Structure formats: C-alpha cells, structure tokens
Amino acid sequence: MVQSVKPVPSTWCPGCGDFGVLAAVKKAAQEAGVPPYDEVLVGGIGCSGGIHNFIETNGIHALHGRLLAQAVGIKLANPQLTVIAAGGDGDGYAIGMGHFIHAFKKNASILYIVMNNELYGLTKGQASPTSQLGYEGNVEPPFDAILTALSIPVPNFIARTFSGDPKTMIQVLVEAIKFNRANRGFAFVEDLSPCVTYNDTFKDWRARVVDVATLPGYDPSDRQTMFRLCTETMHSGKIPIGVMHRPSAPDPSMPGLELKLLPDKIGPAVADIGLATNRGAYEKLLRAVA
C-alpha cells in the first residue's frame, strides 16, 4: 500500500554513500517543483531500498527486484504523479535484471536511481553483478549498466553520478525529474554510492571519476559517441560519470508510455468510474462476457 508517513531515523551506517542520494533526492524534488503530495518513492530491497522511510513523502517498499514493475504501475494508475524508484545494484541488476532492461523499452516517465556500491550491503557484503574481479572471491567481470542502457535505442535520459559529488548529483536529478514531468520517458541515474562498512571505495572512486562532459567530442545526443567515450575512459582505468544520454529534442513518436496509453493523462486511480458517465462502456463489457 502506498502511504505517506513521517520519516523514521535512518538505519544506515554513518558515512554510507546512500545519505548523499537521500539529500539529493529531497533537494532535487524541491528544485524541480514537485509538491510532496505528488511524489511517490518506490524502494527496492536492501540497505538502499529503505530510502523512502527516511523522507516525508508517499512511499512503498517493493518486492526484491520488482520495484520497477510497481513504479510503472503507479505511474499508469495516475500519470500526474512524479514516481521515483530507488534501490541497489543487487536489487536492480541481479534479481531485477529482466525488469531493468524492459524499463528502457517500456519508457514510462519514471526516474530509476540505482545506488551502486558493487556489493549486497544488507546481507553483509556478498559479491553483486557489479563487483570487481577478486572481490570476495568473485570470478565474474563486472556488469556495466551505463553501457547496457546506451545500447537500447529509446530516447530516454541516462546518467551516472557519485555520492562524493552531491552538487552534480542534484543537478542531474533535477534534470531527470523535469524530463519525467514533461512525459518524455524513462530516466535512469546510477549513483556510485560506496558501502563504507564492507568495501569503502570513496577514496578510490574520487580519484578515478571523470565527467564525460569534459571529454573532447562529448555529445550526449549520440549513443555511439557516448559508448565510445565511456569504453575508452574505462579502458584507461577511470570511471565515466555525468549525463550519458540526453535526446536533443522531444521525439513526438516516442513519448512516455503513460501518454501512449492515456493521452488525456487521466489514469484509472483518478478516472470517473461512476455508472452515470460509463453506462455504455459497462453494458458493452457485460455483453462481451455474457
């Protein structure tokens, strides 16, 4: 059940990167002009997925790896809402991987924030799909969500931020929320959010992050260019961050899913379902099932 409750004190370890996301989400929603009663935060399962408990807003704790299905459902029930799904790399890229890929294709105008700490924090530090080779005996190379996102040809918004740079994170989240509120489709932001308890990567990541906007040839409207810039940056041992994809203009043939299905933006949660206005439709339905 989606409910608005008073926030509870955070259960995160002091210094966890997720605090940066919590602060940035609050600030970005304000700056983007989202009234708290119009915002819904859908949390995944994991330390990161508790985020909705620590903000005074409408929130729901989703099933593990299923937060995107629930977030898309909320958006389609009432497209007027600003819907933010937020969880971890284990939640999104392991058990939730099928939903992750399809979210880009579905292209509902929701924001998905993945707090990537390269491990499963809540269950005590096991390797996740983004863990480095050798971490806790991991023998699989890490999965890269940005390269995957860039390979899906839908005009959505794609970015990576770092919890050690809250100012840029707020700017990126404001842009993502505005993109959603203009019904332009799915916005994906992966935040590099270190787990200070099981693998504190703050110092290492601070030394290695490179804002792609500073690279020669940067063009976030061109997926091929951005794929090349990201892979070149990664091959040099650095971590690309920044806005990775931003369509140059709205594409009227590819609006957010909610506009395709509900052009008047009135979803079933707020539609008039009374008999007086819908008698004809109800009678048709009854004839169909008779």
Ligand X SMILES: Cc1ncc(C[n+]2csc(CCOP(=O)(O)OP(=O)(O)O)c2C)c(N)n1
Binding site for ligand SF4 (CB under 6 A): 12-13, 16, 18, 47, 117, 121, 195-198
Q: Which is nearer to ligand SF4, 47 or 114 (CB)?
A: 47
Q: Which residues bind ligand X (CB under 6 A)?
A: 44-48, 64, 87-91, 115, 117, 119-123, 128
For residue 121, the minimal CB distance to ligand SF4 (Å) is 3
Q: Which is nearer to ligand X, 196 or 215 (CB)?
A: 196
Look at residue 82 and give the partner it binds from ligand SF4, ligand X, none, a contact being a CB closer than 5 to 8 Å depending on partner kind.
none
Q: 174: which residues sit within 8 A by CB, 6+ positions away?
A: 28, 31, 32
Look at residue 120 and give the partner it binds from ligand X, ligand SF4, none, a contact being a CB closer than 5 to 8 Å depending on partner kind.
ligand X
- Tell me which residue has tokens 């992966």: 190
Task: Look up residue 134 and give its amino acid.
Answer: G
209: three-class secondary structure by DSSP: strand
Look at residue 123 and give the partner it binds from ligand SF4, ligand X, none, a contact being a CB closer than 5 to 8 Å depending on partner kind.
ligand X
Residue/partner pairs of 258-261 with CB below 8 Å, 24 or more apart: 258/75, 258/76, 258/79, 258/108, 258/109, 258/183, 259/79, 259/109, 259/183, 261/76
Structure tokens belonging to residue 107: 């292209």
For residue 88, the minimal CB distance to ligand SF4 (Å) is 8
Look at residue 234 and give the partner it binds from ligand X, ligand SF4, none, a contact being a CB closer than 5 to 8 Å depending on partner kind.
none
User: What's the distance, CA 254 to chain centroid?
Assistant: 19
For residue 41, the minimal CB distance to ligand SF4 (Å) is 17
Dist. CA 40–CA 120, nearest whole Å: 25
